Each structure stands twice: as structure tokens, then as C-alpha cells.
Amino acid sequence: MRQGRPWSYLLFGATGIPVTGGTLLALAVLLLAGAGAVLAASRGAGGAPARLGALVFALGMLARALTGIGWAAGLGFTPGAPCSWLNLLVYLPVCLATGAAALAVSRCPRWLAVTAALPAGVLLWASA
């Protein structure tokens, strides 16, 4: 058994954030399903369900990007935590680019996506 601080403290500078196998497996399944929807929508297959799946995936990525912006601003995140630089230099740009690409594939009006992603980002930040 590993001694010392839990992974949530090492990564996020806080405890109480579940970094367990079950949580990570559920996240991986959701991301793979979303990526499949984006792939299908980008090839014109799957029709409206694939475009809806791509939109949901895009909203999730943009909500994570908004949360990352809040964390970069020091909201709800311990400055100097090992994950802070990883968030700023890797996760945030990847989430913005992936969310924008999936949004383009979903062919959804931009105002609708931003309106839906903003409250989701606020909820993610508030729960951290």
C-alpha cells in the first residue's frame, strides 16, 4: 500500500476529489463514446444522434476548459500544486482545441454551445 499523501492532494492540491479506478474507468468510457460520436459525425454517419453526441462531447470539453481557466486564475485550486502547470500548459489548450473541433463537427449554433457550457463549467468549478 502506498504511504503518504493521496493522489488527489498530489495532483490537485486538495483532498476529497475521487481519483479511483472506478472514476477513471467511467471517465475513459465517456470520453471514448464521445470520441466515437465525433468521429461518426465528422464522416457524416449516424445522423442526428451522432451530431448530438458530438455536441455533448464538445460541451464537456469546453466546460473542462472553463474550469481550467478558473483554476489557472486561482479559483478553487491550490497554487503551486503539481497539476497546476500541467493544467495550464496541456489540459487547458487540449480541451479548448478538442471542444472547438467537436463543436464544429456537431454543426450547432455557437451561441447555444457557449450558453450551455458556461453553467457546466461553473458547476464543475464549484464542486471542486
- Residue-wise pLDDT for 61-107, tens only, equals 988 888 888 887 877 666 666 677 777 888 889 998 999 899 888 88
**Cell matching residue 62:** 469546453
Does residue 7 sit within a domain? no
Does residue 28 sit within a domain? no
Full residue range of the structural domain in which residue 62 is found:
37-127
Instruction: Give residue 28's pLDDT band: very low, low, confident or very high (50, 70, 90).
Output: confident
Instruction: Give residue 11's pLDDT band: very low, low, confident or very high (50, 70, 90).
Output: low
Tell if the pTM clears 0.85, that is, is over it: no
Vertex 7: Cα angle to 94 and 117 (nearest 5): 35
Whole-Å CA distances, 56 to 50, 98, 123: 10, 12, 16
Of 49, 47, 72, 70, the C-alpha closest to 120 is: 70
Give me the pLDDT at residue 123, please.
62
State how far Cα 98 lies from the chain centre.
10
Does residue 4 sit within a domain? no
Give me the pLDDT at residue 122, please.
66
Counting the structural domains of the chain, the total is 1
